[in-house]
Amino acid sequence: MTSSTAPCLSVTSTDELRTRAWRALDRCGVVLPAASSATIQARTPITGEDLFAYPQASADDVSAAIAAARTAFAVWRVVPAPVRGAVVKRLGALLAEHKADLAELISIEVGKIESEALGEVQEMVDICDFAVGLSRQLDGRTMPSERPGHRLMETWHPLGVVGVISAFNFPAAVWSWNTALALVCGDTVVWKPSPLAALTAAACSALLGRAAAECGAPENLNVLVVADAQAGAVLVDSPDIALLSATGSERMGAQVGPRVAARFGRALLELGGNNAAIVAGSADLDIAVRGIVFAAAGTAGQRCTTMRRVIAHESIVDQLTDRISRAYERLVVGDPLTAETLVGPLIDQRSYDCMRAALDQALADGGEIVTGGTRHAVDGFPDAAYADPALVRMPAQTEIVRTETFAPILYVLTYTDFAKAIELHNGVPQGLSSAIFTRDQREAEQFLATDGSDCGIVNVNIGTSGAEIGGAFGGEKSTGGGRESGSDAWRAYMRRATNTVNYSAELPLAQGVTFA
């Protein structure tokens, strides 16, 4: 499992990637901010090299962005929701028009293969469609009042400025989940993307700015700040950020959540996932293998919904492991801009170091690496981090198995009793996505039941990755408890008011109280 055993890869040159990035940015209408004394380096994991410098926002810049969004909110909140929806409709059209440009930037900046990058942009288009429909359905309830001549109801109102902190692995989609809903709800947005994906963020923001201008909406509905963690902390602590939606590690969430709570703000946290699939003895292994391989190896294991554990029945575990191993050995690792590639690079050298350390610990815990883990050298680019997805048999669910390693490592565990499988499944701190492969309806229903999976996403005969925008996305336990995207996730972006209207000529008090 050393780089010397793997073939040397050839990838697109940094100069070519730089040219392609500039062209995509230009087609999206990006005008880079004025140069500042501080910059970050836009970088590509394809070669592991820098593309060019991008101006970095200071703490004062973040404060100014919040103030600008707050001013825009005062205007935007009283615009009728269906009119707000028109801006999001136009954004969706522009995203579809520039789908190839955005996907290329995503591939260049974070290393996604073409189909996954295009899929991420399509997800943005889809959430815009969802939000446009939602703009005519921000409805409250009318409840029966115990007092005659009274009406009891609830109404929903815009919340304020929403701070969005997004991670590198979905550099565009997560922003769109938040922003499309926030805008139709009457909120404005300040967006701090991962510095690893500044170019994608600039392109998305430019398209939204164009949509707003064409629809006559106020400026600064969405304000982009490319900042480091220190400057980004202004978003966390500002009382003018009504809702902070943060996607990232469990460690980040443990720091952010209490600070937002201390100022009585709202936090929507989407944190780590240590997602598992139970594979029953009755499972259709053709479906199981396909679902497992995509969920475990897709995006080079860098999704929050990546499958990291398989809990297989003893009767099929050897056969299943062998089939996954053979599928892994057919995966093409390489340049994500090449059509046949299925697994692109890890985001950086540090990610591979974490992967290698986890594999070493798994071996120390008695595990067996069935296949994968090999580092690929790249012609002329020593800092590019490409690795074969690893499949590891484990004797028990050790601490390293219970820890999310953001890399393509899949641990295989064995069970005999279904209750033990559920115990293993739930025996990790994280609670994002889960799956079971079975043809036994009783097992499927038990997995979905209260005493089954403890995750926010619970699937049957499908992998842990690939959620649709129509359902609420998020998880429990150390995943943070947040919900984004579909269903009734819009409620997080609004405040609720309970209203009582007395249309009678009397003033009866609730609960029959008399007060002369």
Q: Which residue has the higher pLDDT, 31 or 440?
A: 440
pLDDT at 1 over 70: no
**Bridge partner residues of 261 (DSSP):** none
Question: Taking Cα atoms as reference points, which of 296, 307, 293, 245 lies closest to residue 271?
Answer: 245
8 A C-beta contact, residue 53 and residue 39: yes
pLDDT of residue 5: 58
Q: Give me 349's structure tokens.
A: 């050298």
8 A C-beta contact, residue 334 and residue 45: no
Q: Residue 2's pLDDT band (boundaries 50, 70, 90)?
A: very low
pLDDT at 70 over 60: yes
Q: Give me 241's structure tokens.
A: 């950020």
User: What span, in angstroms and rounded, lies between the C-alpha atoms of 403 and 409?
Assistant: 11
How does the average pLDDT of the chain come out, rounded?
96
pLDDT at 112 over 60: yes
Report in angstroms the alpha-carbon separations of 40 from 36, 50, 199, 225. 10, 10, 11, 12
pLDDT at 3 over 60: no
Q: Residue 479's pLDDT band (boundaries 50, 70, 90)?
A: very high
User: What span, in angstroms and rounded, lies between the C-alpha atoms of 411 and 396?
Assistant: 10
User: What span, in angstroms and rounded, lies between the C-alpha atoms of 33 and 39?
Assistant: 11
pLDDT at 33 over 90: no
Instruction: Dump pLDDT digits (tens) for 319-349.
Output: 999 999 999 999 999 999 999 999 999 999 9
3-class secondary structure, 430:
strand
Residue ranges with strand state E in 194-262: 222-224, 241-247
> Going by DSSP bridges, is the β-strand pair 409-415/307-313 parallel, antiparallel, or unpaired?
parallel
3-class secondary structure, 500:
strand
Is the pTM higher than 0.85? The answer reads yes
8 A C-beta contact, residue 289 and residue 327: yes
pLDDT at 4 over 50: no
pLDDT at 32 over 90: no
Q: What is the mean pLDDT of residues 30-47?
A: 89
Q: What is the mean pLDDT of residues 6-11?
A: 86
8 A C-beta contact, residue 226 and residue 55: yes
Q: What is the mean pLDDT of residues 71-75?
A: 98
- Report CA 21 to chain centroid distance, whole Å: 23
At residue 226, φ and ψ (nearest 5 deg) are -90, 105
Quick one: what percent of the chain has pLDDT higher than 90? 96
Q: What is the mean pLDDT of residues 304-326?
A: 98
Question: Catalytic residue numbers?
Answer: 270, 304
Q: What is the mean pLDDT of residues 298-312?
A: 98
**What does the DSSP 8-state code read for residue 183?**
H
User: What span, in angstroms and rounded, lies between the C-alpha atoms of 405 and 21?
Assistant: 30
3-class secondary structure, 162:
strand
User: What span, in angstroms and rounded, lies between the C-alpha atoms of 505 and 516?
Assistant: 17
The separation between the first and the last C-alpha atoms of the chain, rounded to the nearest angstrom, is 85
Q: Give me 475's structure tokens.
A: 């998880």
List all residues 6 or more positions away from 402 whose beta carbon is below 8 Å from its beta carbon.
Answer: 274, 427, 428, 429
Instruction: Dump pLDDT digits (tens) for 247-264.
Output: 999 999 999 999 999 999
Q: What is the DSSP track for 286-298?
A: HHHHHHHHHHHHG
pLDDT of residue 7: 72
